[in-house]
Structure 1
Amino acid sequence: MEVLKSVVEEHMDQMADLIQKITTELRSGLRPAYENFMGFFHAIDWKEPWLMGLLAFHFLFLLTAILSRKSTNFQMCLFLSALAGVYLAERLNVFLGKNWKSFSGQNYFDPSGVFLSALWSGPLLVIAIIILINTLFSLCYMIVRWKKAELRHRARVSRNKQD
């Protein structure tokens, strides 16, 4: 019983420390995160042609996903393409890191891949989530249509049995 009591007290101490750390972070606000984001944003030369092309690619990919929302098969191809792009991001980062001088004014491709994660994988994941949500809504709509058709069929069958 003493062992259990000491384990529970130890757990409670850990939880109290965790809550204290969280409240300290919340008191400091979002200012440090905002400052880090703004530093990242200003460190990028947004007028480089390849960055404009990347942003245009993401915009067109998103537009394609939105305009093809009623075509489930095409949406699944887009979904798999987006996830394949995220999957290949590490290899892409290594390749672009070795060849950055041929297309960029500075090397954005660090070994940890933060830049490519933020500007390549992040938008692709957002688009994939949008496609997934659209697919779930389509699936719910299809289930409702199926159930209505089933109920109509049962009503017809029961009417025919009564006649």
Structure 2
Amino acid sequence: MEELRSAMEAHMDQMSDLVQKITAELRSGLGPAYDNMMGFFHAISWKEEPWLMCLLGFYVVLLLVVVISRKNVNFQMCLFLVALGGVYFAESLNKILGRNWKSFATQNYFDPYGVFLSVLWSGPLLIFAIIILVNTLFSLCHLIVRWKKAELRHRARLSRNKED
């Protein structure tokens, strides 16, 4: 019984420490996270890496395609699947690029954990997928409203025909 009590007290102490650490992080605000992100972006040689400029250009073009094709649901679903496929294959892409970085970059950005590729490849693709998903939900809501209006008109027409 004493072992159980000591184990419970040790667990409660660990939980108390964890809660204190989390609340201390929350009280510090977003400052440390912002500093880490700014350090990450300043560590990248943006002007010396033409492939990064091409990647940013690709994202601009992809965003334009997403916005321009917003009314074409089938094409948007294809884009959605391609974006999620790009995220799915990010780990494999990170390994390939990590092995061949000397042929296109001045330094090795591709760490074993894939942080760089997650931020600069998967992050934007997930944002585009979310934009497409929200657009699809709005399209579906609009379609449901049109369907319900047509149903109500049909019922009104049927009731008028029965009265005649």
TM-score, length-normalised on structure 1? 0.88
Q: Distance in 2 between matches of 1:146 and 1:11?
A: 57
Q: Sort the Cα spacing of 1:85 and 1:10 in 2 relative to 1 into closer, same or farther, 3 A.
A: same
Q: Distance in 2 between matches of 1:12 and 1:139?
A: 49
Alignment of 1:53-132 (within 5 A): 53-132=54-133
Residue 5 (structure 2) aligns with? none
Shift of 1:108: 0.3
TM-score, length-normalised on structure 2? 0.88
Aligned residues: 156
Alignment of 1:1-163 (within 5 A): 17-47=17-47, 48-163=49-164
Q: Sort the Cα spacing of 1:57 and 1:160 in 2 relative to 1 into closer, same or farther, 3 A.
A: same
User: Percent identity, aligned pairs only?
Assistant: 75
Match for 1:159: what amino acid?
R
Cα RMSD (Å) of the superposition? Answer: 2.0
SS in 2 for 1:112: coil
Q: Deviations over 1:104-134 (max 9, x none)?
A: 0000001110000000000000000000000
Match for 2:40: what amino acid?
F
Q: Distance in 2 between matches of 1:42 and 1:161?
A: 74
The runs of 5 or more residues in structure 1 that have no matched partner are 1-8
Q: Distance in 2 between matches of 1:162 and 1:14?
A: 76
